[in-house]
Amino acid sequence: MTVVLDTNTLVQMFGQTSPHAPLKRALLEGRLVLAVSTPILLEYEEVVCRCSGRERWEDVARMFALIHRLHGTIREVTPSYRFRAITGDADDDAFADCAIVANADFIITEDHHFNALQGSGYRPQAITPAEFIRRYLTGA
């Protein structure tokens, strides 16, 4: 299953007691394919550095590299078209563009702007981290 993680979801999955931690575990175990693009990686870096410092970002980048080496489940895509599927927040378009080009199943997010994908004709759909974990990772 291919997913795109919204930045807030990525940041929240690193706490040891975070309810989002099963997402990190699933990535580390190679049970999910994570689609990313250069704009997404740059946003991840900016936000993680701002919230937790450069060292934390370097840990995240090393984790992505390890996952890619072990499982090949980090998929970098280069959208050549702007779909403009998210009208409520232009910054979120990078995530929708990546998900559409990667033919992702879901964008895991708590951001309501991604609800614009529902009924849009595009495959990826928004799902909250809690719902995704409940449906696809519980008991796995």
| CATH number, domain with residue 75 | 3.40.50.1010
Q: What is the mean pLDDT of each run of 10 residues along the chain (140 residues)?
A: 96 88 96 97 96 95 97 93 66 87 95 71 86 86
Q: What integer pLDDT is reported at residue 41 of this predicted model? A: 97
Q: What integer pLDDT is reported at residue 137 of this predicted model? A: 95
Q: What integer pLDDT is reported at residue 116 of this predicted model? A: 62
**Within the chain, how many helices (H) and strands (E) appear?**
6, 5
Q: What integer pLDDT is reported at residue 115 of this predicted model? A: 74
Q: What integer pLDDT is reported at residue 89 of this predicted model? A: 66
Count how many domains the chain has. Answer: 1
Give the sheet arrangement for strand 106-108, strand by strand. 74-76, 33-36, 2-5, 106-108, 125-127
Q: Which of 41, 71, 73, 72 has the alpha carbon at shortest distance from 57?
A: 41
Q: What integer pLDDT is reported at residue 45 of this predicted model? A: 97
Q: Which domain does 58 fall in, by range?
A: 2-137
Burial class (CB in 10 A: 0-12, 13-18, 19+), 27: buried
Q: What integer pLDDT is reported at residue 91 of this predicted model? A: 74
Pairing of strands 125-127, 2-5: unpaired
Distance of CA 94 to the CA centre of its chain: 11
Long-range contacts of 74-79 (CB under 8 A, 24+ apart): 74/33, 74/34, 74/36, 75/2, 75/33, 75/34, 75/35, 75/36, 75/102, 76/35, 76/36, 76/37, 76/38, 76/41, 77/35, 77/36, 77/37, 77/101, 77/102, 78/37, 78/38, 79/37
Q: What integer pLDDT is reported at residue 6 of this predicted model? A: 95
Rounded to two decimals, the pTM is 0.90
